[in-house]
Amino acid sequence: MKSRLILVAIATLFTATASFAQDSYPSRTVRIIVPYTPGGITDILARLAAEGLSKSLGQPFIVENRAGGGTSIGTRAVVTAPADGYTLLMGTTVLSINPHLMTNLDYDAQKDLVPVIDMGETIGVIAVPPNSPARTLSELVALDKAKPGQLSFGTAGPGSVGHIAGEAFNQARGTKFVHVPYRGSSPLLNDALGGHIPVIVDGLITMLPSIQADKLRPLAILQTKRTELLPDVPTSAEAGYPELQTLTYFGILAPRGTPQTIVNKLNAEINKILLQPDVQQKVKQQGGVLVGGSPDEFAALIDRTTKLYGDVIKKANITAD
């Protein structure tokens, strides 16, 4: 009986200590790992979160860039970190794409990471050079139907969101647009401006200055809602092609096993940050849309995106090369 009482006392003490640690979180510096180089919407969102959390929770939140390996280096650093809330990941849609492209991953993002909050998404755009005869999506499709397999669309790379969106469109509409992958958005944009690629599918952040200068003609926004940045450009659904969309996310995740109280605390604080006018303005300037919501909503989005993109990748036989 005495031994049992001692065990109960120890368990009670442990539970109380763990509860106190979670309630007092954070009590030291928290790292947000960004699996990309500095700059870009992923890095910007991470730094906005870090700045806001540092102010609201009273401890330093710092951004650490760990690029390489198709984001696997930075992701692995979070997957293998202690599940105590002091190492977080700024994850992107690549988490839903990589499992279908990379056979050598030694982690399962859906099982090894806990969604905290979906901070935002980027706005996808399909555009053509100003001398293109296509002024609408329907006219572009008509050009392809007239000469199947002779029109190409450029994206930021193999397995990119733009690539998958283009292939999904081919599968849904029976079009024959040929994919031309580039090594990033910059060379893609340069070739588009030079008239070397007839169609470009990429993020608005890349194309906005060229669109505003009338050097590119946007045909559709690849989202469910129009953007204030291009209010006269229809969505793909409005243009009659709802399957031509780019489903993206940029959100905070934590290692599996992170206490729910910590996940909930971070979620609540970041939701508040996303409501701040200066944060909204900075993200809008980058061609992004703030989202927010609950951890469960983010988890459901990741599941849906992983299945959707996985089906397209498999059917189109997309590889990372």
Give the integer Cα–Cα distance in Å for 246 and 284: 17
Do 34 and 71 reside in the same domain of the chain? yes
**Domain membership of residue 210 as a residue range:** 124-221
CATH number of the domain within which 298 lies = 3.40.190.150
Do 117 and 135 reside in the same domain of the chain? no
Question: Which residues pair with residue 154 across a beta bridge?
Answer: 180, 200
CATH number of the domain within which 136 lies = 3.40.190.10
* 113-143: pLDDT as tens digits: 999 999 999 999 999 999 999 999 999 999 9
* pTM recorded for the entire structure: 0.87
Specify if 193 maps to a domain: yes
Whether the CB-CB separation of 96 and 306 falls below 8 Å is answered with: yes
Average confidence (pLDDT) over 204-210: 91
Specify if 104 maps to a domain: yes
The fraction of the chain above a pLDDT of 70, given in percent, is 93
**Angle at CA 132, nearest 5°, toward 125 and 321?**
55
Do 16 and 117 reside in the same domain of the chain? yes
Specify if 192 maps to a domain: yes
Whether the CB-CB separation of 257 and 82 falls below 8 Å is answered with: no
Amino acid at the residue 319: T
Do 109 and 59 reside in the same domain of the chain? yes
In a 13 Å sphere around the CA of 171, the CA atoms on its Cβ side amount to 19
End-of-domain residue from the set 221, 239, 261: 221
Question: Which residues pair with residue 153 across a beta bridge?
Answer: 179, 199
Average pLDDT of every residue of the chain: 91
How many domains, in total, are found in the chain?
A: 2
Do 52 and 138 reside in the same domain of the chain? no
